Chains A and B, each alone.
Chain A
Amino acid sequence: AQSVTQLDSQVPVFEEAPVELRCNYSSSVSVYLFWYVQYPNQGLQLLLKYLSGSTLVKGINGFEAEFNKSQTSFHLRKPSVHISDTAEYFCAVSGTASKLTFGTGTRLQVTL
């Protein structure tokens, strides 16, 4: 079984500041890791994914994440956020069954 922990339910940040959204997972098998974003009143959109290879993955909108197997983490980062990045961010893990197990989400609130 897999589980995902997103410790921060809300992260307030000023525009142009860097941000890190934390994600830790547990799994007894090899995992595939994802970050999804949900803008207000919209469906989920894939930001980035780790399947294999380089542990640093780059996604859309300037986001990146690093897979750290020893720390079982997959934190999401952006060096400079924009107002339009305000949204709910979900970390998810998938093992061999292809269904996704999601964290509870982190609300990123960007202000001027």
Chain B
Amino acid sequence: GAGVSQSPSNKVTEKGKDVELRCDPISGHTALYWYRQRLGQGLEFLIYFQGNSAPDKSGLPSDRFSAERTGESVSTLTIQRTQQEDSAVYLCASSSGGSTPSTTYEQYFGPGTRLTVT
């Protein structure tokens, strides 16, 4: 597609329920990132996928958070037993993952999924 897409755009869930957020990266981009943006704060890195390498999960805040990626396409971020502090905008980004800094580091962001846990 023309850009990174995410679904749903908004999600309201009850505390304790599981949620799945989806990201479709730009076609051909091998690198995919998830970030979290809490109200009034900057973006926090969550997880990074690059091709077939093991993902960098160093930013996941707890074991309730997990993410999968199918090949070099769609990714899903799953939050189990949601808590109110999980309320945030979850942003996905992709990059071409090429061999030069320009292609490796320039990330293209989706519009985000706004998650509200009540």
Are A94 and B42 in contact, with the CB atoms below 8 A? no
Are A100 and B42 in contact, with the CB atoms below 8 A? no
A46 to B31 Cα, complex, angstroms: 17
Are B106 and A99 in contact, with the CB atoms below 8 A? no
- Near A by CB (< 8 A), chain B positions 59-105 give 59, 91, 93, 95, 101-102, 104-105
A52 to B105 Cα, complex, angstroms: 13
A92 CB contacts on chain B under 8 angstroms: 43
- Near B by CB (< 8 A), chain A positions 15-58 give 32, 34, 36, 42-46, 49, 51-52
Are B101 and A51 in contact, with the CB atoms below 8 A? yes
Are B110 and A94 in contact, with the CB atoms below 8 A? no
The answer to the question of A98 belonging to the interface, with a C-beta cut-off of 8 Å to chain B, is: yes
- Near A by CB (< 8 A), chain B positions 35-70 give 35, 40-45, 48, 50, 56, 59
- Near A by CB (< 8 A), chain B positions 99-117 give 101-102, 104-112
Q: Which residue of B lies closest to A46 (CB)?
A: B106
The answer to the question of A74 belonging to the interface, with a C-beta cut-off of 8 Å to chain B, is: no
Are A100 and B102 in contact, with the CB atoms below 8 A? no
Report A99 CB to chain B, min CB distance, Å: 5
Are B109 and A44 in contact, with the CB atoms below 8 A? yes
Binding site for B on A (CB under 8 A): 4, 6, 32, 34, 36, 42-46, 49, 51-52, 90, 92, 94, 97-105
